[in-house]
A and B are shown apart, each in its own frame.
Chain A
Amino acid sequence: MSERLVELEIFRYDPEQDETPRFQTYKVPYQDDWVVLDAINYIKDELDRTLSYRWSCHMAVCGSCGMVVNGEPVLACHTFLRDYPGKIRVEPLHNFPVERDLVVAMDDFIDKLGTVKPYIVAKEERDVDDGEYLQTPAELARFKQYTACINCLLCYSACPQYALTDSFVGPAALALAHRYNLDTRDEGRSAREDVVASNEGIWGCSFVGACSEVCPKSVDPAAAIQQTKIASTGDYFMKFLMPWKRK
């Protein structure tokens, strides 16, 4: 295994010391199978203890290490150094306030997640003694893809609509609302409607599709939003035709 040097330019900002952000360059010896996170961990352990960033699982499932690498929002633990021929520029996710260095404040996303009621809403709570709900593999397959979101926020970083107006509920939260709407155990679609089918919800999306391109888990939030638009339009007309039929 060959050992080579890679140069990383890393976004630095400590609100206690820096008036404006700056970039700091580090040279890191690396191996072919290293990911960007390995290089950042090397910097932290060997070169500079003051660098702040989030990480944990190193297997692309905890969603902590979303960063912008050479302009693209990625998971640092799932992005290989060997795929970058030159210098690598690492920034915090776009469209969020920076707390420090590569750490962004995610309060806005967390608040929005709650507004779409991302849980089973049932008219009557089912008793545990009645056993599980039956759900066929085909019924599961309708929403399975939308359960795969790891809340890494890459889609918000890529979303041009969220960049313009941070009142936009955004890709991950809308995809999650769609996931519950499609679940045969759920009866909460109308309860989510106010937030989901609003100008800040699905109708705020201009269908650029950047969210789906950067999603590391192939959730395809853009498709979820378009499907919700269709369902919601149907609801709108059904309301006049069959007012008794609301989920």
Chain B
Amino acid sequence: MSNKQDPMLNEKRDAPKARPAPLPWRDWIGVIPFFLFAILFILLPSATLLVGAFRDSTGKLTLMNFSGLFVPSILGAYWVTIKISLATALGGGLLGFLMAYAVTIGNLPRPLRSALMTFSGVASNFAGVPLAFAFIATLGRTGLVTVLLKNILGLNLYNQGFSLYSFWGLSLTYMFFQFPLMILVITPALDGLKKEWREAAENLGASQSLYWRKVALPILTPSILGAMILLFGNSFGAYATAYSLTGGFINLITIVIGSQIKGDVLFNPGLGYALAVGMIVVMAVMMAIYYSLRRRSERWLRQ
């Protein structure tokens, strides 16, 4: 098997010591456009966030905003948001992966794959007011499915304790845009699993599950982890859907930030900015966890 076609050796080849030696500064030219864009359009506008987090209402420097983070209601808000993001990242990731698998490796007809891809593109951003209403119309007290279950099976969901306006109801709603996102992001990786490897494994007598455990999943894990981080972030930052579905009655951190920054009553933008900085910290922590997991999985790929 030629080295050139084997991405399993990629990581080793990408290691700095194998690099030929052009002038190092020339390399940085290639990334200038992007970083310039990032500075101008992401970092500069968000500077108000960082600056505002350290200012109080009179403009003086202060750490009070950050101390305001450590009250039970705010910490609870972070925790609930993390919980729902984890739940929908894992749940959405799982079903999304299975569906992507079904249309790539699973030998389903080609048109189904195109249809699923385009549909996923749309569904992944069908969020906010329309999504909230769609779920109200489906699983609300007067929703289609609720009524159907009541009439056909005699099962009253709400009497059984289910409510759309709860943690699980919101998670179900979030999943609507989480699976498609997973499908779209993981499909290129699944495409990258060469048929030759499976055939080689089968020739060597490996069963399906062995192939998956020892070959396919290790290769896919970095991409799966990356996709899950995306799903987590997507859910963590979601605002419009939660607000439309539960009108600020849920203690999610994005909603708390919104009410501080919008300044209707609880006008403490300094606290709002500090909360947003807290969100950045949480995401950074998640990314650190993601890195260590990814490095561990990439060990499989280095010989």
A binds B: no
